[in-house]
Amino acid sequence: MLPRYLGALTIVVLVAMVLIRIRALHKSGVTVMKFGALDKTDFIIPPFAFFYFYFIFANAFRWPTAPHDQFFYSAWISWVGVLSCAAALALIFLSLLSFGRSFRVGIDAEHPDRLVTSGIFGLTRNPMYVAFSLLFLGEFLIKPNSIFLTYLVAGIALLHRQVLREEHYLAEHYGEEYRAYCQRVRRYV
């Protein structure tokens, strides 16, 4: 049961870190929330996330869900899932630090900041999305069932779609600086 509780705690810590960063930037005059400004299909993400969070908490606290299938059970694989979730949180924390004042939720075409290429962004161009993928994988390993497998596959596909949209914008906005960065640093890992 402990891995399930830690999986739920991962979501609480993730949301808290992001909200604290958004609030701090907002207090310094930065408009962080640009979600859906360029593409209204972004609004498929909140229900996707809401139900995902529900399933994680339902798994931990035995709330009603369907289905209750489980592909396999292994205590050590559940703990690998917890480690994957912890790695995701560490990557998100490092990403938020590296972003500095450039952190946005969505693409900010009106007030773009500098191109961030240092810190964790020197190892991967998309550390937040790598982190979310690790989170999806970790939650699946904690509770390997059809719901979490669906979220793992759909979540990674949705993240990749967002990466491609952002890369298109970054290439247009930052031009050669971004293309040179792409030559030095991989998209994911």
CATH number, domain containing residue 12: 1.20.120
Q: How far apart are CA 94 and CA 91, in angstroms?
A: 5
Is residue 46 domain-resident? yes
Note whether residue 189 is domain-resident. no
Give the pair of three-digit tokens for residue 84.
């994957």
| Six token digits for residue 64 | 């009603």
Q: Is residue 116 part of a domain?
A: yes
Do 83 and 10 touch, CB atoms closer than 8 A? no
Total-model pTM: 0.91
Task: Give CA–CA dist 144/152, Å, rounded.
Answer: 10
Domain encompassing residue 70: 2-184
Residue 115 included in any domain: yes
Residue 80 placed within a domain: yes
List per-residue pLDDT tens for the chain, 189 residues long.
Answer: 899 999 999 999 999 999 999 999 889 888 887 777 667 777 788 899 999 999 999 999 989 986 678 898 899 999 999 999 999 999 999 999 999 888 888 777 776 778 999 999 999 999 999 999 999 999 999 999 999 999 999 999 999 999 998 899 899 999 999 999 999 999 999
Helix axes 75-99, 127-142, angle to 10 degrees: 160
Q: How many domains does the chain have?
A: 1
